[in-house]
Structure 1
Amino acid sequence: MDRDAIAHLLTGRIQQRSVPRPKPSAGLVPAPSPQAPPTGTDPAAVPRLADLPGELPVAWEVIEELQVKVSAELSSRDAQRLLEEEDRRALARSLTTSAVADWAALHAQGHTPLSAEQEAAVRHAVFDAMYRGGRLQSLLDEEGVEDVMVDGTTASVEYNHRPRRTVERVADSHQELITWVNRMAQLSGHGERALSQATPSVGFRMPDGSRVTASLLTTRPSVVIRKHNTRQHGIEALLQWGSINPLLERFLVAAVRARMNILVVGDMGAGKTSLLRALGREIPVEERLVTLESDRELYLDEPGPKGPLTFAFEARQSNGERSGNNQLAGEVTLTDIFETALRYNATRVIVGEVRGREILPMLKAMSASGSGSMCTMHVRRPHAIVSRLVQLCTEAGMASESAHHLIASSIDMVVYLTYRDETALGGRKHRYVSHIYEVHDEVGEGGRPVTTDLFAPTESEPRAVYRNMPSFIEDLELTGIFHRQWLTDNPHGAWGAPLQTVRPR
């Protein structure tokens, strides 16, 4: 098959993609430059994740060649790394533009010239290889992507409202995937988190805020990238998405303003972090907030139109070595951070997710002086909430009876999010508040905390519908933004249109 035929075939594949991308004109798929690769940077240090079908108008070897050239020039211009990171990236973009323009001009001497759109795609790919997600960035940039999961050399991509798709051979080898992980960790400022046999599992944030977890403990090297599409969204966005209705919006905001201790729970992917982030943005600006997270996801310390003074603490992973007392060297857990964080005299504490021993300092902070504090917890079913709390407390060394009393005296309200995935049936994913419970400061029969259903689903409505008046209703009304009659005026009509499900509940 001659060059023109190959070019035509590749162009056809590019044009068949459903995701809008810069598309080459017919017959304009250039071959790699015949020039020898530039020198000055070790090419072996550059991850060579394999081409994703139809993503670029050039072979990936060209991108690698240009990335090496630009990296070498950047190192030469700023050898002492005196530039601020923003200025260094601006210089990298400028050098990339020049390098791609020079390559395109040379390439045009023997081939059909690239269009402006194609040249822009090449520039973006080179910059992505240096500062963003490299070869996986094209997947992360797709509309509606929630998670990219790589198992060896195969990626599975999860979307908001359509079924998962599989992309074969996103890496030529397992070692290339490991090299990509370690390079991304360095770009993110977590160079100590290198994936190796000594440290077989690592986690970090990519430059765009996406959370990466990688491990060698699986059958093949594996990577899960969780993209944060809701980083800057507040409570209004949850209304637009149908996760809450106007009544719940006012109720939850009033509960935050009234300094209720709130636990947000649900299954994996239900939207717990999104709701917690939105509620955190409703804390009055005059307050002081401390957030504690294993991996940064809330971003409540970022400048915004409103919100309290926020100190964001993040746990630190070990470098894999152990100290003389067999403790992981360099590791700082959420439990370790709690004592320091509380010395900041914060008016509230938010824990991104409670998974283990940090449950005790969290509940104690709520019970003693942490009025208005919040956290999330993974629970598969609403009826298992108290059992899950007790389990974590007992695993942390507390007796069950003491755990029940601590839970009752700490938590005021529990919000449960339901996750219903109907993409396999041709539908969409639904995330919505289905239950809200009040936790009373007392224990009942069997020693368990007494709870009341404030909102719960009905036979015809799977989403939260008002059931009972909370005992703290006066506290909500004192905020000036809530009135109790709203709960009883039209409890069954607050959601408006029925939930559009494929299969009846």
Structure 2
Amino acid sequence: MADTQQRPGADGSSAPMGPADIAGLLAGRIGQRRVPAAGSPQPATPPPVSPAAPAAVASAAADGGVGAVPSLAGLPGALPVEWEVIEHLQSVVSTRLSAEDPDKLLEEADRRALARRLVRNAVADWATAYAQGNTPLTTEQEAAVGTAVFDSMYRGGRLQSLLDQDGVEDVMVDGLRAHVEYHDRPRQTIEKVADSHEELITWVNRMARLSGHGERALTQATPMVGFRMPDGSRVTASLLTTRPSVVIRRHRIRQHGIAELVQWGSINPMLERFLTACVHAKMNILVVGDMGAGKTSLLRALGREIPPSERLVTLESDRELYLDEPGPKPGPVTFAFEARQSNGETRGGGAAGEVTISDMFATALRFNATRVIVGEVRSTEIVPMLQAMSAGGSGSMCTLHVRRPHGIISRLVQLCTEAGMQTEAAHHLIASSIDLVVYLTYLDETAVGGQKHRFVSHVYEVHDVVGEGGRPVTTELFAPQGGEIRAVYKNMPSFIDELELTGLMRREWLTDNPYGAWMGPLATVGRR
């Protein structure tokens, strides 16, 4: 991937930043004088620039002497001003925006376009006043300031520069320090992503409001919250850790289909045809794997294969599937349900205002959906999910967190018994509801110079009978063998006739050169 960064300007355009530009950004910063408060005359007169110490070393020394850890202000593309200037300009723009659209009658896109124009004007006014006693900012620097102001209003604010990096998958904030996970290189640790813990908590609550989750506030009454950011990234925050903590799961891919999974090496062409045929044949599919294995990505891709003539309901604790949004091809009529967290109060022995996935099932089924998809089954919602599958919800799908392939049935039974079912009843419900289990393996080699690999390694058929010990009978259809750690054809599914009737699958494809379906060995650094 290219190392050259492109920072979007205040008007949304992109301007490449070369070494000279980056050096210019790091050459100076705002000194100790504070910018006047939002109520002061506009434009505010900026304070003078003071010489900057080497950003990474100075910040690291201030935060404990870890010289190898860069600060947010020391990264390429860093702002030429302190964050307090951005906060001041944000207040100025917000005041002007409220004056021009006091009743918020504009459509969201028009309101953001107006905000961009006001940002450009406010930054230009500020930069003009600043240049009267200091070295003027360059055009690129002004654009970077404008972008930061807009980001603080509508995007990820101070953390947006981390989220915009190529290949970012997770940003984990522990107090004032952030750890950034990438899909193709080792983790990077960044110091000073906020000035205080209070500022970080304020950021969490502002992101929740921007996302339309005003009821989800991080407080002592509700010390754990989860929501999605405006760009779809999933945020989980807590006050129960040693320091306030935030984990942001970045969705790099939202509009992909199953063909892209072949390009990325998650499945091969044979599995693409097989799984697509299973969707069209209305097999009930369970997608499982460890954390970060790509379960949601595969489920989303399978959901995009549902014929447009059908009706779909999705149930999620936090919206991640986006199957109700336009995709690469026409899809079914989709109603996307999202759970709601409690406001922290209790009422009638329960959490006031809380709506769980289990609570939504009854309403969702009244939408006459031909299929139900649950983003992730974590708790007692497993029972209504399996009941919906066994009672006519053919073609339904969900994901489940399972560490090892051999633990799939045990994990299902565990959740069913936690919901109050007897083990024997749970076994029969599982056998009568699930047709196919797809297991994804996650292999992380970034620490040894490689990258993260996510691929299907096992596919099981679950038969509608119970066998020895009362457990459901399963058959390995695809599994690692012959030195190949990815899924290779092993046994013919009992429902192959139904797959062939879709016109998307032929049984001889499974038996003809199954090893070659992966088109080359997995590019791993080393075997574990």
The normalised TM-score by structure 2 is 0.88
1:53 and 1:374 map into 2 onto residues whose CA distance is 45
Q: Does 1:143 align with 2:179?
A: no
8 Å Cα contact 2:35-2:85 kept in structure 1: no
- Please name the residue that 1:44 is paired with: none
Amino acid paired to 1:253: T
Amino acid paired to 1:151: D
- Post-superposition CA distance 1:405-443 (Å, at most 9, x none): 100000000000000001111111100000000000000
Q: Does 1:129 align with 2:152?
A: yes
Q: % of aligned pairs identical?
A: 74
1:231 and 1:357 map into 2 onto residues whose CA distance is 28
Amino acid paired to 2:109: E
- Please name the residue that 2:131 is paired with: 108
Q: Does 1:53 align with 2:48?
A: no
- Post-superposition CA distance 1:123-143 (Å, at most 9, x none): 111100111110000000000
- Please name the residue that 2:36 is paired with: 37
| Deviation for aligned residue 1:26 | 5.0
Q: 1:203/1:36 Cα in 2 relative to 1: closer, same or farther (>3 Å)?
A: closer
8 Å Cα contact 1:52-1:167 kept in structure 2: no
Equivalent position SS for 1:434:
strand
Q: Does 1:451 align with 2:481?
A: no
Which one of the candidate residues 261, 276, 282 is aligned to 1:238? Answer: 261
Give runs of aligned pairs for residues 194-233 of structure 1, distance below 5 A.
194-233=217-256
Give runs of aligned pairs for residues 389-408 of structure 1, distance below 5 A.
389-408=412-431
1:166 and 1:182 map into 2 onto residues whose CA distance is 24
Q: Does 1:340 align with 2:339?
A: no
2:195 and 2:142 map into 1 onto residues whose CA distance is 25
Bigger Cα displacement from structure 2, 99-108 vs 26-35: 26-35
Which one of the candidate residues 86, 94, 101 is aligned to 2:109? Answer: 86
Which one of the candidate residues 312, 322, 325 is aligned to 2:336? Answer: 312
Equivalent position SS for 1:463:
strand
Which one of the candidate residues 420, 444, 452 is aligned to 1:429? Answer: 452
Equivalent position SS for 2:459:
strand
- Please name the residue that 2:46 is paired with: none
Which one of the candidate residues 466, 469, 477 is aligned to 2:489? Answer: 466
Q: Does 1:356 align with 2:379?
A: yes
Bigger Cα displacement from structure 2, 210-219 vs 101-110: 101-110
1:401 and 1:331 map into 2 onto residues whose CA distance is 32
Amino acid paired to 2:336: A
8 Å Cα contact 1:30-1:111 kept in structure 2: no
Q: Does 1:180 align with 2:180?
A: no
Give runs of aligned pairs for residues 279-294 of structure 1, distance below 5 A.
279-294=302-317
Amino acid paired to 2:375: G
Amino acid paired to 2:240: L
1:150 and 1:459 map into 2 onto residues whose CA distance is 42
2:229 and 2:418 map into 1 onto residues whose CA distance is 32
| Deviation for aligned residue 1:108 | 2.8
2:363 and 2:24 map into 1 onto residues whose CA distance is 63
8 Å Cα contact 2:438-2:459 kept in structure 1: yes
2:28 and 2:115 map into 1 onto residues whose CA distance is 24
- Post-superposition CA distance 1:145-186 (Å, at most 9, x none): 001011111111110111111111212221111111111111
Which one of the candidate residues 235, 240, 252 is aligned to 2:275? Answer: 252
Equivalent position SS for 2:346:
coil
Amino acid paired to 2:511: T
- Please name the residue that 1:265 is paired with: 288
1:129 and 1:99 map into 2 onto residues whose CA distance is 14
Amino acid paired to 1:332: V
- Please name the residue that 1:487 is paired with: 510
Amino acid paired to 2:330: K
Equivalent position SS for 2:227:
strand
Amino acid paired to 1:106: A
| Deviation for aligned residue 1:191 | 1.1
2:427 and 2:23 map into 1 onto residues whose CA distance is 69
2:175 and 2:399 map into 1 onto residues whose CA distance is 31
Q: Does 1:374 align with 2:373?
A: no
The normalised TM-score by structure 1 is 0.92
Equivalent position SS for 1:345:
coil
Q: 1:269/1:31 Cα in 2 relative to 1: closer, same or farther (>3 Å)?
A: closer
Bigger Cα displacement from structure 2, 55-64 vs 194-203: 55-64
Q: How many equivalent residue pairs?
A: 480
| Deviation for aligned residue 1:74 | 1.2
2:134 and 2:159 map into 1 onto residues whose CA distance is 28
1:436 and 1:152 map into 2 onto residues whose CA distance is 41
1:230 and 1:26 map into 2 onto residues whose CA distance is 33
Bigger Cα displacement from structure 2, 54-63 vs 18-27: 18-27
State the 4+ residue runs in structure 1 displaced beyond 4 angstroms. 17-21, 25-31, 33-36
| Deviation for aligned residue 1:492 | 1.2
Amino acid paired to 2:433: S
Amino acid paired to 2:497: E
Amino acid paired to 1:37: P
8 Å Cα contact 1:40-1:72 kept in structure 2: no
2:34 and 2:387 map into 1 onto residues whose CA distance is 66
- Please name the residue that 1:66 is paired with: 89
8 Å Cα contact 2:72-2:191 kept in structure 1: no
Q: 1:51/1:247 Cα in 2 relative to 1: closer, same or farther (>3 Å)?
A: closer
Q: 1:27/1:174 Cα in 2 relative to 1: closer, same or farther (>3 Å)?
A: closer
- Post-superposition CA distance 1:59-113 (Å, at most 9, x none): 2222122112111111222222222222221111110011111222233333333
Q: 1:51/1:244 Cα in 2 relative to 1: closer, same or farther (>3 Å)?
A: closer
- Please name the residue that 2:346 is paired with: 322
Which one of the candidate residues 465, 480, 488 is aligned to 1:442? Answer: 465
Which one of the candidate residues 152, 155, 178 is aligned to 2:178? Answer: 155
2:133 and 2:258 map into 1 onto residues whose CA distance is 56
- Post-superposition CA distance 1:449-501 (Å, at most 9, x none): 00000000014100000000000001110001111100011111110110111
